[in-house]
């Protein structure tokens, strides 16, 4: 059963602590990454047979497989994918940056160029669930950024197939190539390249502990979006809310993973107890009840800030959750006070699942409190910025003494000389 705490009855360090869920998989991941780097496709086939029980001849999804997947998906769901993709695209279009030039001083031109990352790798989890939504969320911003090639990896079933909905989402989103690869070996393939898999410049997408560790280990050789932990939700709700709805929202994240975290912060003990009872009623009704139970009992909590909704907002900022629901009547009254959250869902009619699938804002979000300094995946993650500077001789002469003085202050005479030498009469 979920634990209920009165705010102040235990130390904040204990109340706000996240359960230590880090698995030490550094060494086995390092061995996999090195093996793939050295042995390429042969290593990939061996690991897929070992971990996914798939005996693969071809690692890449063929055009025929892609076409068959499109035919296998129900037309109604294809339409939903199309509409969701349209919403995601419309939202992320506003994030596209423009290059700029500054020429306010005579003889001086400064600027910034926005350049797309050429090759991007997208990891889409498999295992206990498949996520076509992740395909849309991680690919569409890359397409809007203008990335040259998008390569997707996702674990196959034992028969070597990929779920049709995943491939349908990939085609709708604009993925260029798909490979039947999961786990640390997939990350290694994207980072190093193999005979079949192209090397990419950046890897995005969530995954299990092995995927997260592999992303950490290849960072520097390639860029990564973030090292994401298990999913989390924090609901701030007052006593006017429905405990049925709030419980359902908490469970929407708890069913992801045994390690997922669901937290309610409320100003009413009676409401807290009602939600706890409702969780017990709803959990047995879920197909993923075992996973959900492990999440709620292991990491779930309810924090009661008695008659103090303002304190609930402060608690939310302290926890810096991945998903934050403000289930109150006037949510915009509190929005400006939210400083640390990956994505905020406002009001009593905005369940987090709306953001997972359909509304448009990205669902690849910072976890484990990293919303204190990190942001949702966006078009910005798929571009790089290059600066340029141009000075005429006259413009350089006008500031040459200042540059030389600055350089000499730092004890770097050659820096100073590289400017002043251009104006020495005996130098051509």
What is the β-pairing status of strands 223-224 and 261-266? unpaired
Last residue of a domain, one of 194, 224, 254: 224
Mean pLDDT of the chain: 95
What is the β-pairing status of strands 108-116 and 383-391? antiparallel
Q: Whole-angstrom distance between the N-terminal and C-terminal Cα of the chain?
A: 83
**371 lies in a domain?**
no
Burial of 317 (0-12, 13-18, 19+ CB in 10 A): middle
In this predicted structure, what is the pLDDT of residue 21? 54
**386 lies in a domain?**
no
pLDDT at 250 over 80: yes
Q: Are 39 and 166 within one domain?
A: yes
Q: Are 215 and 299 within one domain?
A: no
Question: Which residues have CB under 8 Å from 255's CB, separation 6+?
Answer: 286, 288, 291, 292, 295
Residue 79 main-chain phi, psi, to 5 deg: -65, -40
Q: What is the pLDDT of residues 194-242, one digit of tens each?
A: 999 999 999 999 998 999 999 999 999 999 999 988 899 999 999 999 9
Q: Are 204 and 313 within one domain?
A: no
Domain count of the chain? 3
In this predicted structure, what is the pLDDT of residue 20? 60
Q: Which of 213, 278, 322, 352 is catalytic?
A: 322
Q: Are 139 and 37 within one domain?
A: yes
Last residue of a domain, one of 224, 253, 274: 224
Contact (CB, 8 A) for 391 and 375: no
Select from 204, 98, 61, 193 the least CA-distant residue to 142. Answer: 204
Q: Are 107 and 13 within one domain?
A: no
**333 lies in a domain?**
yes
pLDDT band at 168 (very low <50, low <70, confident <90, very high): very high
In this predicted structure, what is the pLDDT of residue 16? 84
**374 lies in a domain?**
no
Q: Are 41 and 118 within one domain?
A: yes
**211 lies in a domain?**
yes
In this predicted structure, what is the pLDDT of residue 18? 76
Q: Are 330 and 293 within one domain?
A: yes
- The domain containing residue 91 runs over which residues? 26-224
In this predicted structure, what is the pLDDT of residue 428? 61
Mean pLDDT of 282-289: 96
Last residue of a domain, one of 340, 360, 380: 360
Weakest mean pLDDT among 6-10, 11-15, 47-51, 131-135: 11-15
pLDDT at 59 over 70: yes
Q: What is the pLDDT of residues 375-420, one digit of tens each?
A: 999 999 999 999 999 999 999 999 999 999 999 999 999 999 999 9
Q: Is 48 left (phi over 0), alpha (psi -120 to 50) or beta?
A: alpha
In this predicted structure, what is the pLDDT of residue 130? 78
* CATH number of 292's domain: 3.40.50.1980
Q: Is 323 a catalytic residue?
A: yes
What is the rounded distance in angstroms from the CA atom of residue 416 to the CA atom of residue 223? 35
Q: Which of 255, 323, 325, 352 is catalytic?
A: 323
**168 lies in a domain?**
yes
Q: Are 62 and 171 within one domain?
A: yes
Q: Are 197 and 114 within one domain?
A: yes
How many C-beta neighbours within 10 Å does residue 184 have?
29
Q: Are 338 and 414 within one domain?
A: no
Burial of 44 (0-12, 13-18, 19+ CB in 10 A): buried
**373 lies in a domain?**
no
Contact (CB, 8 A) for 44 and 344: no
Q: Are 46 and 137 within one domain?
A: yes
Q: Are 60 and 188 within one domain?
A: yes
How many C-beta neighbours within 10 Å does residue 17 have?
10
Mean pLDDT of 349-355: 95
Contact (CB, 8 A) for 303 and 264: yes
Mean pLDDT of 237-265: 95
**365 lies in a domain?**
no
């Amino acid at each position: 059963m979920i634990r209920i705490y009165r705010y102040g009855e235990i130390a904040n360090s204990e109340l706000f602590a996240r359960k230590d869920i880090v698995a030490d998989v550094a060494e086995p991941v390092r061995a996999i990454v090195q093996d793939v780097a050295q042995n390429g496709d042969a290593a990939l086939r061996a690991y897929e047979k070992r971990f996914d029980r798939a005996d693969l001849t071809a690692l890449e999804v063929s055009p025929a497989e892609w076409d068959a997947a499109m035919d296998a998906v129900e037309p109604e769901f294809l339409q939903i994918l199309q509409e969701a993709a349209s919403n995601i695209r419309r939202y992320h279009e506003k994030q596209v940056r423009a290059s700029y030039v500054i020429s306010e001083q005579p003889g001086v031109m400064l600027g910034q160029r926005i350049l797309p990352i050429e090759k991007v790798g997208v990891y889409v989890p498999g295992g206990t669930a498949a996520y076509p939504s992740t395909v849309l969320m991680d690919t569409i911003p890359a397409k809007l950024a203008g990335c040259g090639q998008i390569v997707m990896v996702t674990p196959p079933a034992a028969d070597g197939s990929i779920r049709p909905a995943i491939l349908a989402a990939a085609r709708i989103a604009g993925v260029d190539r798909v490979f039947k690869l999961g786990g640390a070996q997939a990350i290694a393939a994207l980072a190093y390249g193999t005979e079949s898999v192209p090397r990419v410049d950046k890897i995005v997408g969530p995954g299990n502990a092995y995927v997260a560790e592999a992303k950490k280990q290849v960072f520097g050789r390639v860029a990564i979006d973030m090292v994401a932990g298990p999913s989390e939700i924090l609901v701030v709700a007052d006593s006017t809310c429905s405990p049925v709805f709030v419980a359902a929202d908490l469970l929407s994240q708890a069913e992801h993973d045994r390690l997922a975290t669901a937290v309610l912060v409320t100003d009413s003990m009676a409401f807290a107890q009602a939600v706890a009872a409702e969780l017990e009623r709803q959990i047995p009704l879920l197909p993923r009840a075992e996973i959900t139970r492990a999440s709620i009992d292991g990491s779930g909590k309810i924090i009661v800030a008695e008659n103090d909704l303002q304190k609930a907002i402060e608690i939310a900022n302290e926890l810096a959750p991945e998903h934050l629901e403000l289930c109150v009547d006037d949510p915009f009254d509190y929005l400006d006070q939210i400083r640390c959250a990956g994505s905020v869902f406002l009001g009593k009619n905005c369940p987090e699942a709306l953001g997972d699938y359909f509304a448009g804002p990205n669902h690849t979000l910072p976890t484990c409190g990293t919303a204190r300094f990190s942001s949702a995946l966006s078009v910005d993650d798929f571009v790089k910025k290059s600066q340029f500077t141009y000075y005429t001789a006259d413009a350089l002469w006008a500031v040459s003494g200042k540059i030389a003085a600055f350089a000499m202050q730092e004890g770097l005479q050659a820096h100073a000389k590289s400017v002043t030498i251009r104006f020495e009469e005996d130098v051509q």
